[in-house]
């Protein structure tokens, strides 16, 4: 089990020239996609596909950077895979599309990364977050942040979006408490593409033209060009020059592999705008 890792490379496979032993890196462990325990993060020497690894610049700690791997992979599949929102890839100097995306859960690790990627792809971002996390989401490039806890969230979102060219929606949480208001919003705005990270158990709105993204799609024939660009080019460059921020902030809760279950227990209780980290 486990997806996010950061550390020093112990060994590099044959034919790999852009990575080297001892290099500081982050990586996404594809254990759920390949059903091979060697690719799980919860061990001292996990295996990681080189296509899902990025160097970490010297100015950034591994504790900070390890917030990103799962978030990058999940958001990249959702935003860029041809089966989902199929947005243009992020750029250092993006061409403005004139279109808007609604991102639900903008303060989560996946949502925070999706906000940054969508902005770098030339989209205006309207996001949701609890009021205390609005400044965080604005700092990542969102044009407008709405309080999802507000009793008027549906009306607020409709008022904010009705004059925009809405390219699609991304629900980084995809639970009933997020799907229901999102469906109510689309009932008023009309049919739009929606990418989810968990499939709905029932129809929410006939206007929700949803797809369900899975991280291992970044390795399939359509997703591999996306993954190669994101992990080999965009992430290393954007981390180095400060365009990509590892958010929300990490919280180191324990040290040692034997404490991972304690971390999972804490995560199960719920966290907001934090990424729980176990150092080994």
Q: Examine the pLDDT at 98 and tell me if it is beyond 80.
A: yes
Q: What is the pLDDT of residue 36?
A: 79
Determine the pLDDT at residue 255: 67
- 59: domain CATH number is 3.90.180.10
Q: Which of 217, 236, 251 is the last residue of a domain?
A: 217
Residues 143 and 82 in one domain: yes
Question: Positive or negative CA dihedral for 233, 236, 239, 242?
Answer: negative
Question: Is the same domain home to 89 and 155?
Answer: yes
Is the pLDDT higher at 237 or at 268? Answer: 237
What is the total count of domains within the chain? 2
Tell which of 196, 217, 238 closes a domain: 217
The answer to whether residues 82 and 173 belong to one domain is yes
Q: Please tell me whether residues 96 and 154 are part of one structural domain.
A: yes
Q: In this structure, are 212 and 90 located in the same domain?
A: yes
Pick the closest to residue 116 from 96, 148, 138 (CA basis).
Answer: 138
Do residues 120 and 161 share a domain? yes
Cα 139 to Cα 171: distance, rounded to the nearest angstrom: 20
Q: Note whether 77 and 186 are same-domain residues.
A: yes
What pLDDT score does 268 carry? Answer: 72
Residues of the domain holding 211: 72-217
pLDDT at 122 over 90: yes
| Separation of alpha carbons 51 and 227, rounded Å | 7
Co-location of 184 and 238 in the same domain: no
Mean pLDDT to the nearest integer, 84-99: 98
Q: Under a CB-based contact definition with an 8 Å cutoff, are residues 91 and 46 in contact?
A: no
The closest of 66, 143, 55, 140 to 100, measured between CA atoms, is 143
Please indicate, yes or no, whether residues 38 and 79 belong to a single structural domain of this protein. Answer: no
CB within 8 A of 277, min separation 6: which ones? 63, 66, 67, 250, 251, 252, 253
Main-chain phi, psi angles of 261, to 5 degrees: -60, -35
Contact residues for 185 (Cβ-Cβ < 8 A; gap 6+): 102, 154, 157, 158, 161
Does 102 score more than 70 pLDDT?
A: yes
Cα–Cα separations (whole angstroms), residue 158 to 48, 141, 154, 176, 209: 42, 21, 6, 19, 17
b/e string for 121-142 if b means 16 or more Cβ within 10 A? Answer: bbbbbbbbbbeebbebbbebbb
Task: Provide the pLDDT confidence category of residue 273 given band limits of 50, 70 and 90.
Answer: low
Query: Tell me, what's the pLDDT at 271?
Result: 66
| 124 and 204, same domain (yes or no) | yes
Residue 78 belongs to a domain with what CATH number?
3.40.50.720
Whole-number pLDDT of residue 215? 95
For the record, the structure tokens of 223 come out as 């997703």
| Helix H or strand E encompassing 194 | strand 192-196
Pair (14, 127) in one structural domain:
no
Percentage of the residues of the chain whose pLDDT score is greater than 70: 93
* Lowest-confidence segment of 61-75, 127-141, 189-203, 266-280 by average pLDDT: 266-280
Q: Is the pLDDT of residue 264 over 90?
A: no
Residue 68 near residue 26, CB atoms below 8 Å: yes
DSSP SS3 for 27: strand
pLDDT band at 250 (very low <50, low <70, confident <90, very high): confident
pLDDT surpassing 80 at residue 269:
no
Q: Provide the b/e sequence for 80-116 (b: ≥16 CB within 10 Å).
A: bbebbbebebbeeeeeebebbbbbbbbbbbbbbbbbb
CA-CA distance, 45 to 36, in Å (whole number)?
14
Sequence-separated (6 or more) residues with CB below 8 Å from residue 146: 126, 127, 128, 129, 153, 156, 157, 160
Query: 231 and 202, same structural domain?
Result: no
């Amino acid at each position: 089990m486990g997806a996010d890792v950061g550390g020093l490379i112990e060994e590099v496979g044959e034919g790999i020239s852009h990575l080297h032993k001892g290099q500081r890196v982050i990586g996404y462990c594809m254990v759920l996609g390949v059903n091979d325990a060697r690719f799980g993060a919860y061990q001292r020497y996990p295996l990681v596909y080189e296509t899902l690894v990025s160097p970490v610049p010297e100015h950034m700690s591994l504790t900070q950077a390890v917030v990103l791997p799962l978030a990058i992979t999940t958001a990249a599949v959702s935003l860029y895979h041809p089966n989902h929102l199929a947005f243009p890839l992020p750029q250092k100097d993006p061409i403005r599309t004139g279109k808007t995306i609604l991102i639900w859960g903008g303060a989560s690790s996946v949502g925070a990364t999706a906000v940054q990627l969508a902005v770098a792809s030339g989209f205006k971002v309207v996001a949701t977050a609890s009021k205390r996390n609005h400044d965080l989401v604005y700092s990542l490039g969102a044009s407008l942040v709405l309080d999802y806890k507000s009793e008027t969230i549906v009306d607020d979102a409709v008022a904010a979006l009705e004059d925009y060219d809405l390219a699609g929606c991304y629900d980084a949480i995809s639970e009933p408490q997020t799907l229901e208001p999102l469906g109510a919003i689309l009932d008023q705005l009309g049919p739009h593409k929606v990418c989810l990270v968990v499939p709905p158990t029932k129809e929410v709105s006939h206007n929700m033209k949803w797809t369900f993204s899975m991280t291992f799609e970044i390795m399939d024939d359509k997703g591999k060009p996306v993954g190669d660009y994101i992990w080999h080019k965009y992430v290393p460059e954007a981390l180095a020059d400060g365009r990509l921020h590892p958010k929300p902030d990490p919280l180191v809760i324990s040290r040692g592999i034997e404490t991972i279950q304690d971390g999972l227990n804490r995560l199960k209780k719920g966290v907001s705008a934090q990424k729980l980290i176990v150092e080994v």
